[in-house]
């Protein structure tokens, strides 16, 4: 190995941790060489075993903790260390918020060179548990019986579980009920190795405000033995089930959903609210998993857009119209664009559901549709982007710079790509005023941010 590491594999060494990675691992350095160790916190001293070495960094395993952080807590979940779903249950919630704030600030400095931008403290939850409204649980078999749970870290071994402490309780109950009923009627779990068996995943969606429940059975085959008996028995539970849906995925793939979806019983949609806006949610709709914090996030976006009722707003990456409909309550006109046709169908349905007529949706790539609108005379006063983790397409950023809307509101789920894109917009004539991180996913390292940008003086001539 070039650049020989100052430690060897299988060495036992004493270290002091000084940071957290964006995956929640503790970071210790030996002669400047970083070692990443799960379940360790900044300020802690420990004995670790070196388990893997790469050119620029290595991995270790915690052997013994000599000095604990004052922010260390006992994880509430009994399978926390095996399961890969959460990374921060061993860190107090106030400690989690501080770690996320530090992560955002450091990434903006390092990647975006934005040292003087105000980064506000993270907006957290009053109760950082039981917030997820959707459970997607893989199904397997053990000793002839069905198991349902999450994959063990870095593996495809399913850890059977009765409850997940970041899932809504009703979803836990639904998953366990469906598992028991399917087992009773002889449904076999899908086997990745042999590509045999039927039931791949159980999905439950829960309307936090309405209490409505949708169950989705994701199967390898269209045929589901004892289907009528299964439906009848699932319906007999004392739960507010509004829809039982089957999605068929016959492919050898890690992708959860297949192309075909059919309603076995009940409605095609359940409903929920974010603030005053009502949403119809189908089996495959993209809908925020933490609606309580989504409202916090969107209220912030609305505040940064500073709408008076006279503005034209463009929402790039609009999804099912969640931000667009929030903006439409305060704007003169909103244009939303999204590449997924089904999402735009949902967006139009949601606009109709809420009686909002000042919003228009288009299917396509934002970087192609928005310049077309611009050529047609659409002049945006404010532009909102909420891109996927990879950030904004470079063409879209250049289009924003050319269009020169007075305000840009950037909603991000990845601080690193946010920092990169803010730098490009800054170089193109914008000033990043402030950044507000929001904790959408407590107990994990994920953090969302809303950033407010304004056109600099003298950059606004069209």
CB–CB of 384/358 below 8 Å? Answer: no
Q: Which of 40, 164, 392, 413 is catalytic?
A: 413
The DSSP code sequence of 115-166 is TTSEEPPPB--SS-SS-B-EEEEEEEEETTEEEEEEEBTTS--EEE-S--TT
* Six-digit token string for 157: 């071994």
Q: Is 384 helix (H, G, I), strand (E, B) or coil?
A: strand
Q: Is 277 helix (H, G, I), strand (E, B) or coil?
A: strand
What DSSP state is assigned to residue 80?
Answer: T
Q: Among candidates 160, 202, 145, 212, which has minimal Cα distance to 177?
A: 202
Q: Is 238 helix (H, G, I), strand (E, B) or coil?
A: coil
Whats the size of the chain, residue-wise? 462
413 is catalytic: yes
CB–CB of 408/453 below 8 Å? Answer: yes
Q: Is 76 helix (H, G, I), strand (E, B) or coil?
A: coil
What gap in Å lies between CA 129 and CA 142, rounded to an integer? Answer: 29
Helix, strand, coil percent content, the chain, rounded in steps of 5: 25, 35, 45
What gap in Å lies between CA 333 and CA 354, rounded to an integer? Answer: 15
* Six-digit token string for 339: 């590449």
Positions annotated as catalytic residues are 413
């Amino acid at each position: 190995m070039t650049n020989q590491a100052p430690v060897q594999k299988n060495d036992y060494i004493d270290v002091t941790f000084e940071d957290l990675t964006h995956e929640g691992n503790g970071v210790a350095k030996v002669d400047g060489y970083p070692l990443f160790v799960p379940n360790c916190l900044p300020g802690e001293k420990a004995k670790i075993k070196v388990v893997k070495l790469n050119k620029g960094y290595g991995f270790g395993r915690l052997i013994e903790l000599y000095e604990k952080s004052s922010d260390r807590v006992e994880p509430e979940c009994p399978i926390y260390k095996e399961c890969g779903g959460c990374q921060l249950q061993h860190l107090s919630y106030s400690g989690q918020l501080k770690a996320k704030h530090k992560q955002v600030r450091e990434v903006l400095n390092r990647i975006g060179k934005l040292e003087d931008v105000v980064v506000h403290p993270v907006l957290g939850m009053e109760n950082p548990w039981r917030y997820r409204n959707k459970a997607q649980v893989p199904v397997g078999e053990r000793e002839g019986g069905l198991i349902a749970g999450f994959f063990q870290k870095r593996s495809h071994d399913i850890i059977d579980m009765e409850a997940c402490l970041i899932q809504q309780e009703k979803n836990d109950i639904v998953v366990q009920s469906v598992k028991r009923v399917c087992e009773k009627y002889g449904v076999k779990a899908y086997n990745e190795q042999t590509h045999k068996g039927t039931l791949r995943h159980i999905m439950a969606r829960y309307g936090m405000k309405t209490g409505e429940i949708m169950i989705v059975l994701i199967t390898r085959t269209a045929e589901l033995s004892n289907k009528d008996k299964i439906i009848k028995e699932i319906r007999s539970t004392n739960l507010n089930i509004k829809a039982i849906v089957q999605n068929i995925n016959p492919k050898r793939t890690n992708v959860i959903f297949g192309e075909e979806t059919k309603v076995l019983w009940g409605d095609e949609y359940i409903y929920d609210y974010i603030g005053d806006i009502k949403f119809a949610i189908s089996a495959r709709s993209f809908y925020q998993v933490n609606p309580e914090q989504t409202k916090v996030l969107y209220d912030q976006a609305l505040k940064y857009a500073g709408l008076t009722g006279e503005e034209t707003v463009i929402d790039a990456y609009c999804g099912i119209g969640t931000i667009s409909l929030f903006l439409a309550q305060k704007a003169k006109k909103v244009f939303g664009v999204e590449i997924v046709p089904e999402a735009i169908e949902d967006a139009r349905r949601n606009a109709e559901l809420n009686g909002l007529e000042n919003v228009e949706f288009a299917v396509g790539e934002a970087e192609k549709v928005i310049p077309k609108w611009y050529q047609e005379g659409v002049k945006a006063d404010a532009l909102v982007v909420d891109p996927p983790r990879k950030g904004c397409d470079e063409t879209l950023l250049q289009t924003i710079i050319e269009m020169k809307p007075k305000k840009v509101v950037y909603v991000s789920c990845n601080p690193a790509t946010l920092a990169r894109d803010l730098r490009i917009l800054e170089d193109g004539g914008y000033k990043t005023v402030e950044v507000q991180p929001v904790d959408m996913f407590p107990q994990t390292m994920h953090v969302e941010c809303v950033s407010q940008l304004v056109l600099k003086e003298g950059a606004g001539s069209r």
